[in-house]
Amino acid sequence: MELLIKYEKGKVLQALRYHFISRREIKLMIILVNVFALLTAVMFGYKMITPLPFLMSSVLWISMMVAFWIWLPLTIYKRNRTFRDEFKARIEEHHFFIETGGVQKTWAWREIESYYETPGFFHLYFDSKTFFLIPKSAFQSEGELDEARKVFRESIGKK
């Protein structure tokens, strides 16, 4: 199937948030900071600590949320020209093709380590940090989406 890929900034930022939040080390860091913030809130409520540790945990929590929710996705979006380009992609049984400006790049499915599906995108991972986003809006119908899911499921290991 052939797709015309054009990215929308807001949707790409949301997909990048999904990428960051799905990473094991980031999940662990978020859990630890949340536990720390809750613990300091409880301790502050019972007057076991002064306001300074509670304030510091709150600032840490807010800083982390701003970093993962706003700063990192915006930085990646601005740095990566791909999100502002329009190009054609083709999904076939054994390969994935991208064509832009007369230049074509091909990957065999075995070169793609895993995939991850979010509400707006398919994330194709070449390794743990390198991935390609295929917007679901590029598909003509639900049938094409199901066909792509089938190809991904049979050809790539699911993340």
Output the six-digit token pair for 121: 């995108």
58: CB partners within 8 A, 6+ apart: 37
Provide the token pair at 55: 């304030």
Mean pLDDT of 40-65: 88
* pLDDT of the residue at 103: 87
Residues 156/115, Cβ–Cβ less than 8 Å: yes
Give yes or no for residue 158 having a pLDDT over 70. Answer: no
Q: What is the pLDDT of residue 126?
A: 92
Q: How far is CA 84 from the centre of its chain?
A: 17
Confidence at 157, pLDDT banded by 50, 70, 90: low
Position with higher pLDDT, 26 vs 14? 14
Question: Which of helix, strand or coil describes residue 112?
Answer: coil
Contact 103, 85 (CB under 8 A): no
Q: What percent of the chain has pLDDT over 90?
A: 65
Q: Three-class SS string for 58-98?
A: HHHHHHHHHHHHHHHHHHHHHHCHHHHCEEEEEECCCEEEE
Residue 27 region, left (φ>0) first, then alpha (ψ -120 to 50), else beta?
Answer: alpha
Evaluate the CA torsion angle 54, 55, 60, 65 in order and state its sign. Answer: positive
Residue range 43-48: mean pLDDT, rounded: 92
Is residue 77 within 8 Å of residue 9, measured between CB atoms?
Answer: yes
Indicate if the pLDDT at residue 120 is higher than 50: yes
Share of the chain above pLDDT 70, in %: 98
Instruction: Give the pLDDT confidence score for residue 159 in this predicted structure.
Output: 45
Q: How far apart are CA 65 and CA 16, in angstroms?
A: 14
Give the separation between CA 66 and CA 75, rounded to whole angstroms: 12
Give the tens place of pLDDT for each residue, 86-102.
Answer: 999 999 989 999 998 88
Residue of 68 and 146 predicted with greater confidence: 146
32-49 average pLDDT score: 90
